[in-house]
């Protein structure tokens, strides 16, 4: 028997490492193996412990485990009778979360131990690389990727084979391959999951790419906020090199390739490829005009090819199973699968990988279980600061590069943040502009000043100081920034504003004309009061007020000191007597 604890960053944040320690102690000398795996993807059920039988089959999946239950689990497992831990087992309705997915990128995630190359090898690992080095020419590799229809998962969706081909045919002997693991969208964690849960598959995809392009050195640019991902990748690189899947004369062939890790230093714009290259060179991460494209002039002025983590994670599967198999999945223009990081007000948040062509509704409702706490769905945000908000009326949009773009949003890299009726859409636009104006590198005027001005107008509207004509002004400015900005950051920064205006114009009008926030989120437009008739003086609100703005004496009515109140709604949500009003 074997117990496996899901130890991705989110599992650990939920307490998985403590569960592991408790299990280790409870097992003691007993004949039970204990191991770890990466992110299973069901973040809403973490910490998760999988029970495998002696044939390596998954016997039971235990969820929301806490360290105090370790003894019981170990007793049940060693007796072979799991009935005493029946209550910890995953519910049937939650199982649909995985059943409705198609896992290619995440094929090993949550199954193998990410620190063990043998686990990876047992699950078809490095078979594709073996085949490539044994009997495929670089052109054949590129052809196979072309047949698959794989396109870039970093956001823009550019055909991968085309970029590889351009880099292969660019003049010069010194070329570079770069993996973009900057994952800057604040609400996305697909790439982190792959790095933490299946680093060998990234390595395999990268070496195949390096072989196709003809380069000896490759980089992974990882964001600094991902310490565990960096650690697991470093470990995997070391082992892969020891076992000759990486380094000189890989698998005894003539091909040599080294992969280096570079940690980013916290700048969203460095996800943009020319800025990323500047950052790799140790400079300020400022983007530059294209052309020349990196395929002609990239790292150190040499031909370079940049792909996203998820793009690379598809490669070994495609080579192993054939480009045709991959192309069978998806729609005419979007092949294969896409991974989304589902979060926000969703009931079942986590990592979702579905074939292209599924609808947003299927992902959010069938897999994600819809909205938490019985509230209404309002919008889903795709593509982060470069993307947009899609309303309920467009939930049947399919996951396809073109179809999503037609809504005004984008496929993006995979962030999917679900919002309910308590999320203000003007405030959401403001939130993204706060982000982009701060992250603007300052090189070009439309982005540097344009995002600031947009933010000022949005801030004014949220504060109840909006004027007639503000919406039109926003639209005009948005178009100017879109047209004038130098790089993708500025060109897409207006998207959250434009989509919220397009689909939620009434909310803008309510803020501007009626000075009211329909979602009751904008602090300046909401007032909380305690109705002295209904207040029993139970102290529940005052204890929960984070800024200690609620005063009174137990058993008599309390009062809110308005000058201190931050309008967080804690009191409102915790009053058992309906004594708190919100206007």
Partner 1 sequence: MAQANTVDLSLIEEILDEYASVPGSLITILQKTQEVYGYLPMDAIYRISERTGNSPAKIMGVATFYAQFRLQPIGKYLIYLCKGTACHVNNSDLIGATIEQELGITNGETTEDGLFTLEHVACLGCCSLAPVMMINGEAYGSLTPQKTIQILQDYRKKEASA
Ligand X SMILES: Cc1cc2nc3c(=O)[nH]c(=O)nc-3n(C[C@H](O)[C@H](O)[C@H](O)COP(=O)(O)O)c2cc1C
Give residues in contact with ligand FES (CB under 6 A): 186-187
Q: Measured from the CB atom, is 70 or 352 closer to partner 1?
A: 352
User: C-beta of 10: minimal distance to partner 1 in Å?
Assistant: 4
Query: Which of 187, 205, 287, 450 is in the footprint of partner 1 by CB under 8 A?
Result: 187
Q: How far is CA 567 from CA 494, 507, 581, in A?
A: 28, 19, 12
User: With binding defined as CB under 6 A, does residue 382 bind ligand X?
Assistant: no
User: With binding defined as CB under 6 A, does residue 184 bind ligand X?
Assistant: yes
User: With binding defined as CB under 6 A, does residue 263 bind ligand X?
Assistant: no
The tokens of 227 are what? 């310490």
Q: Which stretch binds partner 1 (CB under 8 A): 135-143, 258-266, 358-366, 404-412?
A: 258-266
What phi and psi, each to the nearest 5 degrees, are found at residue 544?
Answer: -95, -10
User: Which DSSP symbol is given to 91?
Assistant: P
Q: Measured from the CB atom, is 49 or 177 closer to ligand X?
A: 177
User: Before 171, cis peptide (omega within 30)?
Assistant: no
User: C-beta of 409: minimal distance to ligand FES in Å?
Assistant: 18
User: C-beta of 395: minimal distance to ligand FES in Å?
Assistant: 23
Interactions with partner 1, residue window 200-239 (CB under 8 A): 224-227, 229
User: C-beta of 469: minimal distance to partner 1 in Å?
Assistant: 28
User: C-beta of 181: minimal distance to ligand X in Å?
Assistant: 7
Task: Return all residues near 294 (Cβ < 8 A) that are at least 6 apart.
Answer: 178, 273, 274, 277, 303, 304, 305, 306
The tokens of 497 are what? 């504003």
User: C-beta of 187: minimal distance to partner 1 in Å?
Assistant: 3
Pairing state between β 350-355 and 388-391: unpaired
CB atoms within 10 A of CB 293: 18
User: With binding defined as CB under 8 A, does residue 148 bind partner 1?
Assistant: no
Beta strands in 15-66 (DSSP E): 33-37, 49-52, 58-62
Q: Measured from the CB atom, is 312 or 432 closer to partner 1?
A: 432
Q: How far is CA 297 from CA 76, 80, 275, 293, 494, in A?
A: 61, 62, 13, 6, 29
Interhelix angle for 190-197 vs 227-242, to 10°? 40
Q: Measured from the CB atom, is 159 or 557 closer to ligand X?
A: 159
Question: Which one of ligand X, partner 1, ligand FES, none is in contact with 308 (Cβ closer than 5 to 8 A by kind)?
Answer: ligand X
User: C-beta of 487: minimal distance to ligand X in Å?
Assistant: 6
User: With binding defined as CB under 6 A, does residue 167 bind ligand X?
Assistant: no
Q: Which stretch binds partner 1 (CB under 8 A): 116-124, 199-207, 241-249, 340-348?
A: 340-348
SS3 305: strand
CA atoms within 13 A on the CB side of 422: 13
CA distance 339 to 358: 12
Nearest residue to ligand FES by CB is 187
Pairing state between β 258-263 and 217-222: parallel
Q: Which residues bind ligand X (CB under 6 A)?
A: 152-156, 158, 180, 182-184, 269, 271-273, 306-308, 311, 413, 487-489
Q: Which residues bind partner 1 (CB under 8 A)?
A: 9-10, 12-14, 43-44, 46, 183-189, 192, 224-227, 229, 262-268, 279-285, 300, 341-345, 349-350, 381, 384, 415, 417-419, 423, 431-432, 435, 441, 544, 546-548, 566, 568-570
């Amino acid at each position: 028997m074997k117990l496996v604890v899901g130890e991705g960053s989110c599992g650990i944040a939920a307490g998985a490492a403590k569960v592991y320690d408790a299990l280790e102690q409870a097992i003691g000398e007993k004949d039970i193996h204990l191991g770890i795996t990466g992110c299973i993807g069901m973040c809403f059920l973490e910490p998760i412990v999988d029970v495998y039988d002696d044939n390596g089959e998954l016997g039971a999946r235990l969820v929301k485990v806490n360290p105090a239950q370790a003894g019981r689990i170990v007793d049940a497992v060693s007796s072979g009778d799991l009935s005493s831990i029946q209550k910890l087992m995953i519910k049937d309705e939650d199982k649909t979360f995985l059943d409705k997915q198609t896992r290619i990128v995440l094929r090993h995630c949550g199954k193998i131990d990410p620190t063990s190359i043998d686990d990876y090898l047992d699950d078809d690992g490095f078979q594709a690389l073996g085949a490539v080095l044994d009997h495929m020419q670089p052109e054949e590799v590129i052809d196979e990727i072309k047949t698959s229809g794989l396109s870039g998962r970093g956001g823009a969706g550019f055909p991968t084979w085309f970029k590889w081909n351009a880099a292969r045919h660019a003049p010069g002997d010194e070329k570079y391959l770069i993996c973009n693991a900057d994952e800057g969208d604040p609400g996305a964690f697909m790439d982190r999951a792959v790095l933490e849960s299946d680093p060998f598959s990234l390595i395999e995809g990268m070496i195949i790419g390096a072989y196709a392009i003809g380069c000896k050195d490759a980089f992974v640019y990882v964001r600094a906020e991902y310490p565990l991902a960096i650690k697991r990748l470093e470990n995997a690189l070391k082992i892969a090199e020891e076992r000759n899947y990486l380094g000189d004369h890989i698998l005894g062939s003539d091909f040599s390739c080294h992969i280096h890790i570079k940690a980013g230093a916290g700048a969203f714009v460095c996800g943009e490829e020319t800025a990323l290259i500047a950052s790799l060179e140790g400079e300020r991460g400022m983007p530059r005009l294209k052309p020349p494209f990196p395929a002609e002039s990239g790292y150190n002025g040499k031909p370079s090819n940049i792909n996203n983590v998820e793009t690379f994670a598809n490669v070994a599967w495609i080579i192993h199973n054939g480009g045709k198999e991959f192309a069978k999945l998806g729609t005419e223009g979007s092949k294969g699968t896409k991974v989304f990081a589902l979060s926000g007000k969703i009931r079942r948040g986590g990592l979702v990988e579905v074939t292209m062509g599924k609808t947003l509704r299927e992902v959010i409702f069938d897999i994600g279980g819809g909205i938490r706490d019985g509230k209404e769905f309002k919008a889903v945000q795709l593509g982060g600061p470069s993307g947009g908000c899609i309303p309920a009326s467009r939930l049947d949009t399919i996951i396809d590069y073109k179809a999503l773009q037609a809504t005004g949003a984008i496929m993006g890299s995979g962030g999917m943040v679900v919002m309910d009726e308590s999320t203000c859409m003007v405030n959401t636009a403001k939130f993204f502009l706060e982000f982009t104006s701060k992250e603007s590198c300052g090189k070009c005027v439309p982005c540097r000043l344009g995002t600031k001005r947009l933010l000022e107008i949005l801030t004014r509207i949220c504060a109840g100081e909006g004027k007639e004509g503000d919406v039109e002004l926003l639209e005009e400015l948005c178009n100017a920034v879109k047209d004038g900005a130098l790089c993708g950051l500025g060109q897409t920064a207006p998207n959250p504003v434009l989509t919220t205006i397009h689909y939620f114009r009434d909310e803008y009008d309510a803020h501007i004309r009626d000075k009211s926030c329909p979602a009751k989120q904008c602090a300046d437009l909401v007032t909380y009061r305690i109705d002295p008739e209904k207040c029993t003086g139970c102290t529940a609100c005052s204890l929960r007020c984070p800024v200690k703005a609620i005063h009174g004496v137990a058993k008599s009515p309390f009062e809110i000191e308005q000058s201190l109140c931050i309008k967080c709604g804690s009191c409102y949500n915790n009053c058992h007597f309906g004594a708190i009003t919100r206007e």
